[in-house]
Amino acid sequence: MDKISKKYIYKPYNKIFPELFVEEFKKINKIIGNKYKIYHMGSTAVDGLGGKGIIDIYVSVPNFELNRISKLLSKNGYEFRPDAGTKNRLFHRIDREDPVDGIRRYHIHVVDIKSTDFISSLKFRDYLRSNPKLAREYEKVKKYAASIAGESKDKYMNAKKNIIKKINTEIFFVTVSQIPVGRVATYGQLANMCGIKSPRYVGYLLHNNPDPEKVPCHRVVNSKGKLSKSYAFGGINAQRKKLNSEGVEVISDGVNLNKYLWINDK
């Protein structure tokens, strides 16, 4: 097989990508015993989105299974690269003969199913799948990033930084907008749902809510159900008034989470 010569490149999307994933899915599933969910991730998982042409695959497992599954993959030819992953995402790669490029690289990530890494990546993929216009915008930035990066990861990631931040922020506010009337969510709950590492950053985003009429940040409270004294759109009294108008009872500047907490089972 020919060697892959350049790290940061741009290739247009190819309809063969889903088929390549399915073939690799079968191989991995056979190795790990048809036990855990396997996801096609990254640019090749979004119809029409160009990128490096690498087939990214996430094998989602409980934390206690990370090392066992990683060792199974290593024994079956998937090269383990410890410096390329994290403690909750163990990175492997393999090159295979390819009908289009001669050789194609596959990245296999064994990931903790509860980690922010997995949750945020899945949200990112799904949001691009449902927003083709934004996916095209992201594609243009990826193409530019590849053109200037050379072999520098820092240059490549810095060129994509703003568009990634924009997409993740949109994902967050879409999630907040889904909190139904008569319910509340907590900062930590939203952090977990969106793959955000710190509940404090949730507070920062809410404070900069671009459209509080459409994005109901007043429905977000702390882990004890307490309202925010620094509620950005009129203070705690305004937050209390909005919640009361929606049928949420506020007592001593707090709400009963057992009664009003949003249970999102999607």
Share of the chain above pLDDT 90, in %: 89
State the pLDDT confidence band at 71, using cuts at 50, 70 and 90: very high
State the pLDDT confidence band at 264, using cuts at 50, 70 and 90: confident
State the pLDDT confidence band at 3, using cuts at 50, 70 and 90: low
Q: What is the pLDDT of residues 19-34, one digit of tens each?
A: 999 999 999 999 999 8
Q: What is the pLDDT of residues 172-218, one digit of tens each?
A: 999 999 999 999 999 999 998 998 988 999 999 999 999 998 999 99
Mean pLDDT of 73-100: 96
Mean pLDDT of 129-134: 97
Residue 240 Cα distances to 54, 60, 236, angstroms? 50, 40, 6
Domain ranges of the chain: 17-132, 178-260
CATH among 2.30.30.90, 3.40.1710.10, 3.30.300.210, 1.10.10.10 for 178-260:
1.10.10.10
For residues 216 and 209, what is the distance between their CA atoms, to the nearest angstrom?
A: 9
Domain 17-132 homologous superfamily, CATH: Beta Polymerase, domain 2 (3.30.460.10)
Mean pLDDT of 117-134: 95
Per-residue pLDDT, 266: 55
Nearest to 146, CA basis, from 54, 77, 55, 265: 54
Per-residue pLDDT, 132: 96
Per-residue pLDDT, 123: 95
State the pLDDT confidence band at 4, using cuts at 50, 70 and 90: low
For residues 93 and 85, what is the distance between their CA atoms, to the nearest angstrom?
A: 11
